[in-house]
Structure 1
């Protein structure tokens, strides 16, 4: 029973996340473009209102772009809440979810508050639809009036007076704790996030770390995102590299998977490593966890700052201190590749092929 409930909750939350991520990426990238553009003019606070009426029209445009990006990024909480609700109760829960998510954002309840808003909206609408029965002549008002009105009312009341305050306090405490981190503590945090990202390669642990890191961008906290974006691409790059440097340890199918893994890694998709993890989890997962942890810790420890949720190669050069960022990726990739090769035996098919080939050479030499 509890396993089924947990599986359903995970499905609903992941649905919300899948709809939220494009908004986060769009908003953060637009903001990154504005801030990188501002840096060419020696401006480090392009978001400041004083640049809105700048004599330089390009600087004014960059200020506006930063605002547009912030607008998109600010939609992440209502959108995730709306689509968690949608996953539970279909379109009936969209309005309550949107309003609940906006309220969670405005009272500072953050990502956890938005998740709660989506779940409350979804299950509230589902219960109203299931248990409120009206005469046939009036049944049509349930989906168009009762569900949106009472679904929204119940959601906002619970968020504002029950759930919101503790989540807002928790969110503030988390932000203060992360902002107060420095030195070895921040490096340890980055290593933990990296390890989580490298653990299940796109699964719930990975998604929890990445989504939380992205949510913290709205509060101007960049170290978790830096660690997460480095860690996302290390497993597919490392495992793809392993198939190139130790071809005889991988059969033809896995070598083809390695080529795909390299490409997916370069564009920022950690799922490229999944075929290897499925084939040999006890040998692959320790390597991806360690490589991702080291890469994330190195990037943060050496002062790289990634302000956008972009892990692909096209975003590397927008990172502050990008040479050490790329170095961290390279080190993590080499750790994954090295451990994978060291822990793996040559595949049976390749050993047989190699023996047959050697025998043919020996026979040819003898006949000669």
Structure 2
């Protein structure tokens, strides 16, 4: 029973996250473009209102772009709450979820508050639909009036007076704790986030770490996002590299998967590593956790700052101290590749492709 409930909740939350992520990426990338453009002019605060009156048309445009990106990011909590509700009770919960998500944003209840808002909106609307019964002639009033009005009212009252207060306190405490981290503590935090991202390669633990890190971007906390974005790409790059460095330890199918894994790693998709995790989970998962943790800790510890939720190569050079950032990715990648090769032992996989590649040219001619 508990397992079923847990699976249902996970499905609803992941639905909300899947709708939220494109919005966050769009907003953050637009803001990154604005801020990189501003830095060309030596402007480090392109978001400041004073730039709206600049004599330079391009600077005014960059200032506006930053505002547009911030507007998109500001919709993150309403969208995740609305679509968690949508996953539970279809379109009935979209309005209550949007309103509750806006309330969560206003009272500072953070990402956890948005999750709670979506779940409350969804299940409130589901119960109203199920138990509010009117005569057949008036039945159409339920979905167009009763559910949206009372669903929204119940949800916002619970968020504002019951759920929101502890979540707002928790969120403030988390922000203060993260802002107060420095030195070894910050490196340890980065390693933990990196290990979580590398653990299940796009699964719930990975998504929990990545989504929380992205949510913290809205409060100006960048270290968790830096750690997460480094860790996203290390497993597919490392496992793909292993199939090149130790070609004879992999069959044709896995060597082809290795090529795909490298490509997916460079564009920022952890799932490229999944074929290797499925083939040998007890050997692969510990390695991806270790490599991701090391890469993330290095990037944050040495001062790299990634302010956008972009892990692919096209975002590397917008990172503060990007050479260190790229070096950290490389170190984590080689750790994953080296440990993977070591743990696979010495067996040589012989198949048609390997036989052809390993035949000495002289022997072939003879």
Band of TM-score, shorter chain: over 0.9
Distance of 1:191 and 1:118 partners within structure 2: 30
Match of 2:257 in 1: 257
- Which range moved further: 240-249 or 341-350? 341-350
Q: Give TM-score, length-normalised by structure 1.
A: 0.96
Question: How big is each residue's C-alpha offset from its partner over 1:203-235, in whole Å with a ceiling of 9 and x where there is no partner?
Answer: 000000000000000000000000000000000
Partner of 2:53: 53
Question: 3-state SS of the aligned residue for 1:52?
Answer: helix
Partner of 2:215: 215
Distance 2:350 2:6 in 1: 42
Partners of 2:36 and 2:361 lie apart in 1 by 60
How much has 1:55 moved relative to structure 2? 1.2
- Indicate conservation of the 8 Å contact 1:250/1:347, yes or no: no
Q: Please, what TM-score do these two structures have when normalized by structure 2?
A: 0.96
Runs of 4+ in 1 over 2 A off after TM superposition: 345-349, 351-365
**Structure 2: which 5+ residue stretches go unaligned?**
none
CA–CA distance in 2 between the matches of 1:247 and 1:213?
36
CA deviation after TM superposition for structure 1 residue 351, in Å: 7.7
Cα distance in structure 1, aligned partners of 2:83 and 2:345: 45
Instruction: Compare 231-240 and 55-64 and name the one that shifted more.
Output: 55-64
Residue of structure 2 equivalent to 1:131: 131
SS at match of 1:207: helix
Q: Distance in 1 between matches of 2:206 and 2:156?
A: 30
Distance in 1 between residues matched to 2:84 and 2:194, nearest whole Å: 26
Deviation, 1:345, is 3.4
Alpha-carbon displacement from aligned partner over 1:262-295 (angstroms, at most 9, x marks no partner): 0000000000000000100111111100100000
- Please say which of residues 350-359 and 315-324 is displaced more in the overlay: 350-359
CA contact (8 A) 2:304 2:322 kept: yes
**In 1, Cα distance between the equivalents of 2:341 and 2:349?**
17
Pair 1:197–1:146, CA change in 2 (3 A)? same
| Deviation per residue, 1:49-90 (Å, 9 max, x gap) | 111111111111111110100000010000000000000000
Task: State how far apart, in whole Å, the 1-side matches of 2:330 and 2:132 are.
Answer: 59
SS across alignment from 1:350: coil
The answer to whether the 8 A contact 1:88-1:126 is kept is: yes
What is the count of residue pairs matched by the alignment? 366
Specify every segment of 5 or more residues in structure 1 that has no aligned partner in the other structure, as ranges. none
TM-superposed deviation, 1:126:
0.2
